[in-house]
Structure 1
Amino acid sequence: MNIKSRVIALLKEVENGKYSNIALNEYILNNAIAKKERGFMTELFYGVIRNKIFLDYEIDKRTKEIKKDWIRNILRISMYQISFMNSDDKGVIWEATELTKKKFSVPVGRFVNGVLRSYQREWQEDVKQLQQDGKNYIYLSYPKWFYDKIISEYGEINSIKFLQNLKKIPYISFRVNQLKYSNDEFEKLLRQQEISIIKKVDSVYYVDSGILLYSNEFKEGKIIVQDASSYLAAANLNPKPFDIVLDTCSAPGGKTLVLAEKMQNKGELFALDIYPHKLKLIEENCKKTGVTIVQPIKMDAKKLKEQGKKFDKILVDAPCSGYGVLRKKPEAIYTKKPENICDLSMLQFEILESASQVLKENGELVYSTCTILKEENQENIKKFINKYPNFKTEKLYIPDNVNGTYDDIGGFTIDYNEDILDGFYIVKLVKKG
């Protein structure tokens, strides 16, 4: 099957509600595709999703109605190639025309040809006009409300950089499970496989190939797919062996595994979630990685204060809007709504407040989110400290090669300054006596 036909089928799956990363990974796992073709396919697939608003604007400008999803998607793919890839425009248009002729008919092929030729001539002027008209959000492919919110929080220059960053293709990252493997062993494996390291943060490696997903090392839990931002959120709690530790919103368990590793698999580590199937996922990940100290518990973290157990250290990686991980889940931007942010902020505060009540005196708590909005991050923490002045912020551990910004309360946002890691917020609190 032609690669573009494969991409069209995958785009349809995403439009029907499937997560983009799951759709693509399942396809690659079940089909033999050469490395070069896999890279091209991935670029087209994610490129169309990331730039959907702009591409649809350009299509709708040149057509009255498109009833077939396949036609819209071949136009999207071809327009993406013309604008965002170093492609032979004439070749792109010819291929789209021929594929359409074979799929439908010669007249439909001519229609696609005409639309794409018009786009090829005019798209650069269209972009200039959008920017002049204050509609840059269309070119950057963001809902206007989100574009305006980021501008208001970060200022125009930083915001444009941030918004462009969130459209970049992410690198896959593997964390070395120190309970089973070592950094030296992993680096030897990378050399054997001729895989390049893009960036290293402690035991997390960003690499230029996902082939290790099919390796014995991955199957045996020696390496785990995890972003360094997620790792740092858990690493900053820094629990010791034999501590009593709580992970309040733990599924699927990546941060839980980091905590267990820091504890050298000794002590008590409680992992909460409200969904039984997610707790089962945590159990499976623990078994795979050799972690034995985790106790998965079905509990709503908002009700923590109603039980009597106290903890030395608590991780509150709160449910959030997820705007920091849009590089990996680009389709999410098109379904989220501004009112969700207020609801999430209240939920986050409630979980944080409940967790704080079961923290021992002089105990430590890390609050983190995978979002970049201040309402869910700094504003929540400021409100919390004002209400509970016995909590003070503590210095964070942020490696020198991780870029971002400290706020005036000691929290750290991995933001527009960072090209590789997910957007994240981390703050550490200590409960004084």
Structure 2
Amino acid sequence: MNIKQRIIGLLSEFEKGKYSNILLNEYFSKNNLSKGERGFITEVFYGVIRNDIYLNYQLEKRTKSIKKSWIKNLLKISIYQATFMDSDDKGIAWEATELAKKKFGVPVGKFVNGVIRSYLRDKDEEINNLKSEDKLDILYSYPRWFYEKIKKEYQENTESVMISLKKIPYMSIRVNTLKYSEKEFEELLKSLKIDIIKKLDTIYYIDSGVVLHTAEFKEGKIIAQDGSSYLAAKILNPLPDEKVVDTCSAPGSKTAVLAELMNNSGEIYALDIHQHKIKIIEENLKKLGITNVKPIKLDARKLKEQGVKFDKILVDAPCSGYGVLRKKPEALYNKNMVNVKELSSLQYEILESAAATLKTGGELVYSTCTIFSEENTDNIIKFLNNHKNFSVLKFNLPENVNGHFDSVGGFLIDYTEEILDNFYIIKLRKDFE
């Protein structure tokens, strides 16, 4: 099967409501493809989703309507290649025309050829016009409200932020030190001819997802996890024999980091509001060989009602997810500022409930995988104003992690970071009751 036909099929499945990352991982596990083929499919599949607003804008300018989804996706792929990849324009037009002719006949092939050639003639002028007319939201495929919000918060860095969130992500894998070593993992990568892009402690950013289909992954020796979420757990720094709670723990990857740091001793409560996610946590932790965790179905807002006190608490709160758009680009199109404000309120409720269960002298990390102040700095300012018995603790970050500290001492892994997810982390201490 032609590789573009494969991508068209994947886009069709995505349009039916499947999550992009799950869809792609399942496809690769069922199809024997070369490293180059997987790389090309990944880039184009995610690229079309990331740039959907721009691609639709260009098609609407050149066609009245396209009834067949197959043709529309072929055109989107072609325009994406011509705009965002180092591709041969004539080759793009020729291949798309031939694919359309074989599937639907000569007239459809001519239609496809005409649309693509029209775009290729106008491409440079189109891009320049969008920039000069303050339509970066269309050029970089963002809802207008999101663009205005970025402009307000990031001002002269707006375009850099928008470009950053559309970059192609790398696979990130963490070594489970309870079962495996970094040396052993690096030997595995060599045997699979996989390159290391960046290393952060036991987190490896690599240029292939083949490791997800190895025995080492199935046996829990390695786990898929981003460095940002790893850092949130590491910065909490739980000690052996402490009592810890992870308030929003599914699927359990941050809980696993906590367990490793505690040498599988002490006690961790892993909370989630959904029973099916509790089962996922249990399955994942069992595979990783973790035994000091108690998964509990509980709304974290009700934690303070349980009468338990903790030494350390991780509040990785539910958020809008705008810091992980590289990996989940569809999140951009299904939320708005109303959702951001609703999530901000939920985050604050969880934080306040968790804080009430912290022992005097205990420490808490609040984190989100988003970039907006409502869910990050604003929530912390509100919390500190209402809880004078809490203070912000300083913490260190690896030198190869980029971002900035905000006005209250929280760190945002931001658009200046090329590899890790954008992520907000702040550490608090309860000084007195």
TM-score, normalised to structure 1, is 0.98
What per-residue deviation string (whole Å, max 9, x for no partner) do you get for residues 169-190 of structure 1?
1000111111111222222222
Aligned-residue Cα RMSD (Å) equals 0.9
Q: Distance in 1 between matches of 2:318 and 2:396?
A: 23
Give how far 1:390 is off: 0.7
Question: Which amino acid in 1 is paired with 2:105?
Answer: S
Question: Which amino acid in 1 is paired with 2:211?
Answer: L
Give how far 1:88 is off: 1.5
Question: Which amino acid in 2 is paired with 1:61?
Answer: K
Question: Which amino acid in 2 is paired with 1:90?
Answer: K
Q: Distance in 2 between matches of 1:359 and 1:371?
A: 25
What per-residue deviation string (whole Å, max 9, x for no partner) do you get for residues 228-260 of structure 1?
000000001110111000000000001000000
Aligned to 2:235: 236
Structure 1 spans left out of the alignment, 5+ residues: none
TM-score, normalised to structure 2, is 0.98
What per-residue deviation string (whole Å, max 9, x for no partner) do you get for residues 391-412 of structure 1?
0000123111100000121100
Deviates more, 1:37-46 or 1:197-206: 37-46
| Equivalent residue runs for 1:33-72 within 5 Å | 33-72=33-72
What per-residue deviation string (whole Å, max 9, x for no partner) do you get for residues 193-236 of structure 1?
22211111111010111111111111111111100000000001
Aligned to 2:361: 362
Aligned to 1:15: 15
Question: Which amino acid in 1 is paired with 2:148?
Answer: D
SS of equivalent to 1:231: helix
Q: Distance in 2 between matches of 1:411 and 1:101?
A: 56
Q: Distance in 1 between matches of 2:8 and 2:335?
A: 24
Q: Distance in 2 between matches of 1:290 and 1:164?
A: 40
Q: Distance in 2 between matches of 1:5 and 1:184?
A: 40
Aligned to 1:343: 342
Aligned to 1:122: 122
Aligned to 1:294: 293
| Equivalent residue runs for 1:2-401 within 5 Å | 2-156=2-156, 158-401=157-400
Give how far 1:82 is off: 1.0
What per-residue deviation string (whole Å, max 9, x for no partner) do you get for residues 84-113 of structure 1?
111111111111111111221211111111
SS of equivalent to 2:158: helix
Q: Distance in 2 between matches of 1:185 and 1:24?
A: 27
Deviates more, 1:383-392 or 1:80-89: 80-89
Q: Distance in 2 between matches of 1:187 and 1:200?
A: 11
Q: Distance in 2 between matches of 1:311 and 1:87?
A: 56
- Identical columns (%): 64
Q: Distance in 2 between matches of 1:66 and 1:336?
A: 27
Q: Distance in 2 between matches of 1:95 and 1:209?
A: 27
Deviates more, 1:387-396 or 1:85-94: 85-94
SS of equivalent to 2:116: helix
Question: Which amino acid in 2 is paired with 1:46?
Answer: Y
Q: Distance in 2 between matches of 1:65 and 1:407?
A: 47
